[in-house]
Amino acid sequence: MHYLNAETHMSDAPQRILVKEVNWLGDIVMSQPALRAVRAAYPLAYLAVLVQREFASFFDGATWVDDVLPYRVRPGWRGIGDQGRLIGDLRRRRFDLAILLPDSFQSALWCASAGIPNRIGYVRDARGPLLTRGIARTATTLQGHQVHYRLHLLRAALGIEGNADAFAIDIAPQPRTRMLAWLEERRQRPNGLLIGLAAGAAYGPAKEWPATHFAALADLLAERYGAECVLVGSPGERAKCEEVARASRSGVLIAAGETDIGELIALLSLCAGFAGNDSGAMHVAGALGVPTVGIFGSTKPGRTAPLGERATVVYHGIECSPCLRRTCRFGHYRCLTEIAPAEVAAALQSAFPA
């Protein structure tokens, strides 16, 4: 096949496209402009997304995607069988183009082993021989916002020009109904504004604003605006959220560990504002158009700032940041501790009525 250029609109354009999605929630949000660009370039093709099982519900409302293929690869010897079954399933589906958004060797190996004849991706992780169209990374792609990283891949490999602002997230009606009921059962101040908070971050403590600061922020928002805060996150982040709840005088709701990704999207869509660490929830809130404040410590706002016109960041660029480390090598975490709750509250001001 010779269709590897969307601009030619050739008669042998791909009929069955597989997009291997990335493996973190925030990265999935930032990859949406690329996925939508593929859909726009090939409107008649069958478009499937291969994604880790825990993130599959992200696409519950995405009716413009034809199929979502959840997978799980367990560690150890059991993972060998999981990979074999996955490769067999991909082979049976007879895709003719695979677009690999993650840079992993494994994703390229699966698609090559499944016999997908056209495989595009960045040349990384020694996987170049497994790609039929490998694209080299450039200094520009590594320095700008990550949303442009995968748009560059499509441009270089397929001639597709995507729109970096096409990051809207689709909300499925069923999760929204469930979260409305969840809130109705638990809210103590149902007439107040609902503010989402994300106190955890999968990357590590160098991304995490202190629990006491989140508690002080929740109390400040309750005192000034009568707002009620809901803490969101994964099951692994629930302990941090419970720490925030114990330190808060005004009381907070905890949804961490009680929602799948689709329900998290629905819950954040019901919030009047959001504040949180550089995390997947932060990216979801920004892309939903919720007034969003991202709290940055060790990471680069220019690389992973939340998307959306109503999103902003609070970042203290002290002498050792951004270090991109999971833990502070000096042990002080000043890039985070010196950000005051009042500063975050002020950044959230657009969420509140005058």
**Residue 141: its pLDDT value, please?**
85
Instruction: Judge whether residue 6 has pLDDT over 80.
Output: no
**Residue 354: its pLDDT value, please?**
63
Instruction: Judge whether residue 1 has pLDDT over 50.
Output: no
Residue-wise burial string across 303-322, b where 16 or more C-beta atoms lie within 10 A, e elsewhere: bbbbbbebbbbbbeeeeebb
Domains and CATH numbers, the chain: 6-158 (3.40.50.2000), 173-351 (3.40.50.2000)
Helices marked H in the chain: 25-41, 77-93, 105-113, 139-143, 147-158, 173-186, 211-225, 238-247, 261-269, 280-287, 301-304, 334-337, 341-347
Global pTM exceeds 0.85: yes
**Residue 353: its pLDDT value, please?**
75
Span 68-83, average pLDDT: 94
Instruction: Judge whether residue 100 has pLDDT over 50.
Output: yes
Band of pLDDT at residue 333, cut at 50, 70 and 90: confident
How confident is the model over 223-282, as pLDDT tens digits? Answer: 999 999 999 999 999 999 999 999 999 999 999 999 999 999 999 999 999 999 999 999
Instruction: Judge whether residue 138 has pLDDT over 90.
Output: no
**Residue 7: its pLDDT value, please?**
39
Instruction: Judge whether residue 12 has pLDDT over 80.
Output: no
**Residue 317: its pLDDT value, please?**
83
Strand partners, 133: 120
Instruction: Judge whether residue 337 has pLDDT over 60.
Output: yes
Q: How wide is the angle at C-alpha 55 spanned by C-alphas 205 and 108, nearest 5°?
A: 95
Instruction: Judge whether residue 9 has pLDDT over 50.
Output: no
- Tell me what the pLDDT averaged over the chain comes to: 92
How confident is the model over 269-316, as pLDDT tens digits? Answer: 999 999 999 999 999 999 999 999 999 988 888 899 999 999 999 999
Span 54-70, average pLDDT: 97
Q: Strands, DSSP E only, in the chain? A: 16-20, 46-52, 67-71, 97-100, 119-122, 133-135, 194-198, 228-231, 253-254, 273-277, 292-296, 311-315
**Residue 203: its pLDDT value, please?**
67
**Residue 201: its pLDDT value, please?**
75
How confident is the model over 174-224, as pLDDT tens digits? Answer: 999 999 999 999 999 999 999 999 998 776 777 889 999 999 999 999 999
Band of pLDDT at residue 350, cut at 50, 70 and 90: confident
% of residues, the chain, pLDDT over 90: 82
Span 126-150, average pLDDT: 93
**Residue 189: its pLDDT value, please?**
92
Q: In this structure, what DSSP letter does residue 235 have?
A: G
